[in-house]
Amino acid sequence: MSPPGWGGNLLRGLFNSVLIAAGAYSIGIMVGIAGAFGKLYGGPVLRDLLELYTTIVRAVPELVLILLLYFAGTDLINRLLEAFGYQRIDINGLVAGICVLGIVQGAYSTEVIRGAILAIPQGQIEAARAYGMSPGLLLRRITLPAMLPFAIPGLANLWLIATKDTALLAIVGFNELTQETRTAASTTKAYFTFFLVAGALYLLLTLFSNVIIARVEKWARRGMHVESH
Amino acid sequence: MAEPATARLVDAGARASLWLQPHRIGLIAVGVVLVVCAALFMRWDWLPNYYGLALEGIWRTLWILVVTCVLGFMLAVPIGLVQVTGPRWLSVPAYWFCTVIRGTPLLLQLWFLYYGLGSLFPQYPWIRESFLWPYLRQAWPYAVLSLTLSYAAYEGEVMRGAFAGVARGQLEAARAFGMSRWKVFRRIWLPQAIYRALPTLTGETVLQLKATPLVATITVVDIYAVASRVRQSTFIVYEPLLLLAVVYLCITGILVFAFRKLEARIPARLG
């Protein structure tokens, strides 16, 4: 019942899970910002393509997308490398997992950020344009900070989804927390104990994230008009 | 009588031409070319062999979706209600149930129930002798249970908000009319909460559909498991996965359409 060393494996799995979640989340936010701007200010073709992207990603199960992107992505990169005369490379599972989950997260954060930008009082953006700010400066100084309070509840939710979606990579065989747990459990036959411990670890991660999110939300809302009910 | 009909027809025509802008025609043409290329140049010869199995898989996916959503919703109503109005010894466990289920991955819950509980059960002779044993040895009860609990937790949180959002005055008015507490719940509180929860219900149901392929990991043969089987036995990778994505897109489309029809039937005037 007490095999030495499995605790370390679980913690390593947890670390990997957090790493993937953080990486995927950052990629997702970058894709989301680009996607939201494309949807709001882009041309008609770009807008339709982005609509297609968000609709398909949000309608097809993550598991299917992960398999499709994982197989297709690694295959495509290797074929491109071969076509240009380079050696085939063995793509790191960690990087592939981060990219695939990042693309999935990007679709959701596109919608969140688009909604948040639409919630900014239009006068603020017009005033910045009237000052002659370039689009880049406008984005950095006005749009991104002003949309943050509106986007944070949605983005916080996406972070929690990202931490839980890392479990799906267990099916592709990546050694994150769920996969490590299954290995440990099937080796020691103590299924009940190990899955309980892994659940507790995930729960702790969620509760800890909730505390941080509450702090960040308070910070992002500083100086905003507080509605009194 | 004829005039409004033609007006509506003209209106629909205008909307269609608005939707069918020139660049969209180009995009549709590209899409059609891609589909034709996929049909011509990819391998579909496995399809006749797995046709029956695939239909069975789709049927099982839909069956799991409907059963778990209905059962989950029936659980979600009391879970939401006790958190708003219940005594502490009911509201605290309900709160923690939602937190724990929403804070851990569904895949882990599924494996915990199937491998964890499943490995404990055979140790107790009275469970092995009970009439439930033939079911407990199969995989689908665990799949249904874990998906139901998951849906109940997510939807319970939504129902909590919906119950809390119904205006106090309406409930007080109903009480003042001399309705019993049960009647107030049945006639005023529950219907209004469901109207409020309906838009999020669509999203939750689509999420539930997207969670169903996880049951393939505990040997339930749904449509996802059929696609994996094709991949393993024929070494064809992309075609089954692409077809699978299309199947899920179709089911999602039908779900969203059905819920939109349902929403349109309900008078949307909230107090």
Dump pLDDT digits (tens) for B45-56. Answer: 888 888 899 999
Measured between beta carbons, which residues in chain A are less than 8 angstroms from residue B237? 71
Measured between beta carbons, which residues in chain B are less than 8 angstroms from residue A71? 237-238, 241
**In this complex, do B108 and A68 lie within 8 Å of one another by their Cβ atoms?**
no
pLDDT at B210: 93
**Band (A39; pLDDT cuts 50, 70, 90):** very high
**In this complex, do A203 and B249 lie within 8 Å of one another by their Cβ atoms?**
no
Chain A touched by B266 (CB under 8 Å): no
Q: Which domains does chain B have, with CATH numbers?
A: 1-41 (no CATH), 46-265 (1.10.3720.10)
A60 → closest Cβ in B112, B117, B249: B249
pLDDT at A226: 56
Q: Which residue has the higher pLDDT, A57 or A91?
A: A57
pLDDT at B268: 59
- Quote the minimal CA–CA distance from A17 to chain B in Å: 12
pLDDT at A221: 80
Checking if the pLDDT of A135 tops 90, the result is no
A68 → closest Cβ in B102, B224, B241: B241
User: Comparing A46-50, A94-98, B176-180, B249-253, which segment has the lowest mean pLDDT?
Assistant: A94-98
pLDDT at A229: 46
Q: What is the rounded average pLDDT of the residues B174-180?
A: 92
B27 → closest Cβ in A45, A65, A68: A45
Measured between beta carbons, which residues in chain A are less than 8 angstroms from residue B119? 189, 191-192
Measured between beta carbons, which residues in chain B are less than 8 angstroms from residue A203? 99-100, 103-104
Chain B interface, mutation test: which of A48, A64, A103, most B Cβ atoms within 10 Å?
A64
Checking if the pLDDT of B37 tops 50, the result is yes
- Which residues of chain A approach chain B closer than 8 Å at the C-beta? 44-45, 48-49, 56, 58-65, 67-68, 71-72, 160, 164-168, 170-171, 178, 181-182, 185, 189, 191-192, 195-196, 198-199, 202-203, 205-207
**Band (A93; pLDDT cuts 50, 70, 90):** confident
pLDDT at B60: 94
**HSE-up (13 A, CA, CB side) for residue B16:** 6
pTM equals 0.86
Residue whose token pair is 């498991």: B225
d(CA B175, CA B182): 10
**In this complex, do A165 and B102 lie within 8 Å of one another by their Cβ atoms?**
no
A44 → closest Cβ in B23, B118, B253: B23
Chain A residue nearest residue B225, CA to CA: A64
Q: What is the rounded average pLDDT of the residues A78-97?
A: 80
A183 CB neighbour count, 10 Å cutoff: 17
Measured between beta carbons, which residues in chain B are less than 8 angstroms from residue A60? 210, 245, 248-249, 252
**CATH T-level topology, domain A6-220:** MetI-like fold (1.10.3720)
**Band (A228; pLDDT cuts 50, 70, 90):** very low
A61 → closest Cβ in B100, B116, B213: B213
A56 → closest Cβ in B212, B238, B249: B249
pLDDT at B124: 82
Chain A residue nearest residue B26, CA to CA: A45
In degrees rounded to 5, what are phi and psi of residue B179? -70, 145
Checking if the pLDDT of B2 tops 60, the result is no
Chain A interface, mutation test: which of B42, B112, B223, B236, most A Cβ atoms within 10 Å?
B112
- Quote the minimal CA–CA distance from B132 to chain A in Å: 21
A207 → closest Cβ in B103, B106, B112: B103
- Quote the minimal CA–CA distance from A133 to chain B in Å: 32
**In this complex, do A195 and B112 lie within 8 Å of one another by their Cβ atoms?**
yes
Q: What is the rounded average pLDDT of the residues A14-21?
A: 92
Amino acid (1-letter code) at residue A73? G
- Quote the minimal CA–CA distance from A141 to chain B in Å: 34
Measured between beta carbons, which residues in chain B are less than 8 angstroms from residue A59? 206, 248-249, 252-253
Checking if the pLDDT of A122 tops 90, the result is no
In degrees rounded to 5, what are phi and psi of residue B220? -85, 130
User: Comparing A39-53, A171-185, B152-166, which segment has the lowest mean pLDDT?
Assistant: A171-185
pLDDT at B4: 57
Buried b / exposed e over A62-75, threshold 16 CB at 10 Å, is bbbbbbbbbbeebe
